Amino acid sequence: MSTQLKIFVAGDVEGNFDQLFSRIKNIQKKSGNFDLLLCVGDFFGTNFMAWENYVKGEKKVPIATLILGPNKFEHTDYYKNNDGGDLCDNVTYLGKKGTYNGSSGLTIAYLSGTESSDGKSGEINFSQQDVSSLILPVATDTKFQGVDILITSQWPKGVDRYGIPVGELDTSNVGSSLVSQLAINLRPRYHFSGMENVFYERQPYRNHKVLAEKERHVTRFIGLAKLSNTQKKKYLYAFSITPLSSIDQSELTKQTQDVTECPFNTEESKPRQEKESEAQFFYDMTPREEKGKKRQRDKDGGPDRKQIKHKEPTGPCWFCLGSPEVEKHLVVSVGTHTYLALAKGGLVADHILILPIGHHQSTTSAPSEVIEEINRYKTALKKFFKQMGKSVVFFERNYKTQHLQIQVVPVPIDCVQELKDAFMQCSEEENVELNEIPKHSDLKQIVPSGTPYFYAEIPSGEKLLHRIKKQFPIQFGRDVLSSVQVLNMPERVDWRNCKISKDKEARLAAQFKEDFKQFDFNLD
């Protein structure tokens, strides 16, 4: 007997029972019977009589239906018991929170309501305590793999991170961090939510850290629209699933080509620690003749970047922009959290560094706003060098350095095909284990903060990573790029052999700054 189940999931029904059940009847006539209907969001509406027809048995529900609890006080009268129970024939209220285990082996975790604003649990709200009660029983269970389905009315916060954008929805103001926390820990294969009147099917995301943890299954998040929407957005989702307990492990953990990192940061779900000491500084690169205009823009309500606070280094640092050690004649662009500078002793004349203004040691320890701006600079630099007929390699060495430095080296387009071979050949010669990580991966999810590593992004989109355990050749990145296969300039491996006069550095920096103007988003 097959254990595969056919399941419907509906978004906010809002009392439109006839519309929903009529649609399901029609589908079942064409495609055969389904096993279950799950409903997220607001199941009830304002028309009490529409529901009474089903309670009295005058109308029939054509499929076993599981629903969540109320999200609005005006709907609480429909629910007679907070612990769950049958509301009419074929409709069951699951309860405030818990796990439903079907006879087939299917496991469905559920959480009703929306996140409480005051930290207290209520009729229509859940709290940290509610979420913890679902997580704690499985937190120490070494045999726990995850659940088949998680249903919540509210979206998890930040679910579109690393994924395709939602588009019509500003996700910065949507969702619950507690639901995100629940998803991290319960590892559902499918997660459904409603309430936002949007259909959004995210690419699958992985539930393990690449190269650091044993491979696990992926999670698929689907947000469903309301039944009553007039834009014909998808409100009903149909799929087949074999319970997790009945699937071969190798089949269960197969990774799709479009899989991304988990969008939720496990650190963000922990209590915030006291902020580290911070220093306020900002290097003003505005020409003297433009400073009056800049002050006026700030006065008129524009972003006054001098108010941004940055971490203070523990000692002298050559790269913190507020430090007297910084050679400011090399700086070519300054953002809100990061800046660009010409590399001292660069491999080529337009070898650039992306650096945080404040003191952060590596990508894995830098906050999200720094990473976001680094990515903006990467995008701008790719466009800039492409216009010049070049491709670009980014690499970072978090080893024997105290300040995050992203090396940006343009290379001829005709050597792009040989780049990966050059990295692999050099890694073999130097006895460096270089692993390719998924293109949609996030370094923070793979490498714990504080761990030494070498990381490179090459023009083909491939990402290469080496976890440094003992010794590592300091000039590895330069060694690869200076090889015969790429730039054919082995004499430039050591930056100290490439130093030029300060005057020439200043001229090169000024020229780069001028050429980069149309791509510099800080000048918009």
Q: Are strands 205-206 and 236-241 parallel, antiparallel or unpaired?
A: unpaired
- Enumerate the domain spans of the chain: 5-253, 328-519
Report the CATH number of the 5-253 domain: 3.60.21.10
Does residue 298 carry a pLDDT above 80?
Answer: no
With bands split at pLDDT 50, 70 and 90, how would you rate the model's confidence at 9? Answer: very high
With bands split at pLDDT 50, 70 and 90, how would you rate the model's confidence at 113? Answer: very high
> Can you read off the two tokens belonging to residue 250?
């190798």
Res 477: pLDDT: 95
Res 444: pLDDT: 81
Res 268: pLDDT: 47
Res 2: pLDDT: 55
CA distances from 474 to 26, 221, 400, 439, 453 (A): 67, 42, 8, 25, 11
Averaged pLDDT of the chain: 88
Q: How far apart are CA 341 and CA 30, in angstroms?
A: 64
With tokens 């996140």, the residue in question is 115
Reduced to 3 DSSP states, what percent helix, strand and coil does the chain have, rounded to the nearest 5?
Answer: 30, 20, 50
How would DSSP label each residue in 233-280? ---EEEEEE--GGGS-HHHHTPPPTT-B--SS-GGGGSPPPPPPPEE-
Q: What is the pLDDT of residues 392-432, one digit of tens each?
A: 999 999 998 889 999 999 999 988 888 999 999 999 999 99
In this prediction, residues 319-328 reach a mean pLDDT of 83
Q: Are strands 453-457 and 390-398 parallel, antiparallel or unpaired?
A: antiparallel
In this prediction, residues 506-524 reach a mean pLDDT of 94
Res 117: pLDDT: 92
Fold of the domain spanning 328-519: HIT family, subunit A (3.30.428)
Q: What is the pLDDT of residues 153-195, one digit of tens each?
A: 999 999 999 898 898 888 888 999 999 999 999 999 999 999 9
Res 316: pLDDT: 60
Q: Which residues are paired to 65 by β-bridges?
A: 37, 91
Q: Which residues are paired to 112 by β-bridges?
A: none
Report which of 451, 481, 482, 486 is spatially closest to residue 465, judged by C-alpha positions: 451
Does residue 302 carry a pLDDT above 80?
Answer: no
